[in-house]
Amino acid sequence: MRLDDIDQVILIDRLSFSLPWPASAFRHELVNNPSSLLWVAEQDMADGDPCVVGAVVVWMIMDEAHIATLAVHPDYRRHGISQQLLVTVLRQAIERGAALATLEVRANNQAAQSLYKKFKFEIVGRRPRYYQDNFEDALIMTVDLSQRISPKLSYLEWLETNREASRLPNPEEVRFDS
Ligand SMILES: CC(C)(COP(=O)(O)OP(=O)(O)OC[C@H]1O[C@@H](n2cnc3c(N)ncnc32)[C@H](O)[C@@H]1OP(=O)(O)O)[C@@H](O)C(=O)NCCC(=O)NCCS
């Protein structure tokens, strides 16, 4: 993610969340927080110009990677873009020493929970009435990034196989920029 992506990122955020981040929050993460990992997915439009279609922000806190926000533009959902963003950012987090990834997700957000379960996140707790707009509970989900999926396969190696297996409409046209 670069500063000039922010206008497109906040548009996606507003289309995706009832409590979207303001532009200043993304700007702060990009400029002032060296522990923040920020990626966008871009798709080339018909005119050849790239357009941001998804974004993820992860905070590195000691050996924990906290997924702070993840959203894909509604017109580009169910094409594997959030999987690609997660593979990309989790790989970077592991390379920076993360042993655990964690996040909060709305109790009613089945799509996101299903996505995270694909990445072997498990529900480990609940924060009652966590969200200020409707007092919905948050579920806490975590995944052990240092686990071995099999004797021969680390989580990181498994992530790479996941990248290859995930569906993209046109892999050449979607780029992942940090
Ligand atoms: C959740 C979200 C990021 C998924 O993005 P996406 O690019 O459409 O997801 P993908 O195409 O990569 O799908 C990956 C997996 O997520 C799950 N998933 C995604 N959308 C789903 C839906 N509408 N219903 C059920 N499962 C869904 C599935 O397990 C899917 O795998 P599959 O296609 O093999 O079934 C997107 O719906 C979104 O931006 N939602 C609003 C913001 C949000 O809730 N963010 C998460 C905050 S914690």
Residues with CB under 6 A from ligand 1: 16, 70-72, 77-83, 103, 105, 109-112, 114-115, 118
> Would the pTM of this model clear 0.75, i.e. be above it?
yes
Q: What is the 111 CA–ligand 1 centroid distance (Å)? A: 5
Q: What are phi and psi of 36, to 5 degrees?
A: -100, 130
Stretch 87-95: mean pLDDT, rounded? 97
Angstrom distance (rounded) from CA 122 to CA 100: 12
pLDDT band at 166 (very low <50, low <70, confident <90, very high): low
Sign, CA dihedral 79-83-86-91, equals: negative
Minimal-distance CA residue to ligand 1 atom 32: 78
Angstrom distance (rounded) from CA 174 to CA 48: 12
Strand 36-44 vs strand 50-61: parallel, antiparallel, or unpaired? antiparallel
Angstrom distance (rounded) from CA 66 to CA 61: 7
Whether residue 53 contacts residue 12, with contact meaning beta carbons closer than 8 Å, is answered with: yes
Residue 168 has pLDDT above 90, yes or no: no
Stretch 1-5: mean pLDDT, rounded? 97
How confident is the model at residue 136, as a pLDDT?
97
Whether residue 37 contacts residue 60, with contact meaning beta carbons closer than 8 Å, is answered with: yes
- pLDDT tens-digit map of 41-87: 999 988 989 999 999 999 999 999 999 999 999 999 999 999 999 99
> What are the helix (H) ranges across the chain?
6-16, 23-32, 81-95, 110-118, 155-165
| Ligand 1 atom nearest to CA at 79 | 11
Catalytic residues: 104, 116
Query: Nearest CA to 85 among 68, 62, 64?
Result: 68
The two structure tokens encoding residue 99: 């042993």
Residue 99 has pLDDT above 50, yes or no: yes
Strand order in the sheet with 100-106: 122-127, 138-144, 100-106, 64-72, 50-61, 36-44, 174-177
Q: What is the 89 CA–ligand 1 centroid distance (Å)? A: 16
Mutate which of 77, 119, 140, 159 for ligand 1 pocket (most atoms within 8 A of beta carbon): 77
| Ligand 1 atom nearest to CA at 85 | 12
Compute the mean pLDDT over every residue in the chain, rounded to the nearest whole number: 93
Q: Indicate the SS3 state at residue 171.
A: helix
13 CA to centre of own chain = 12
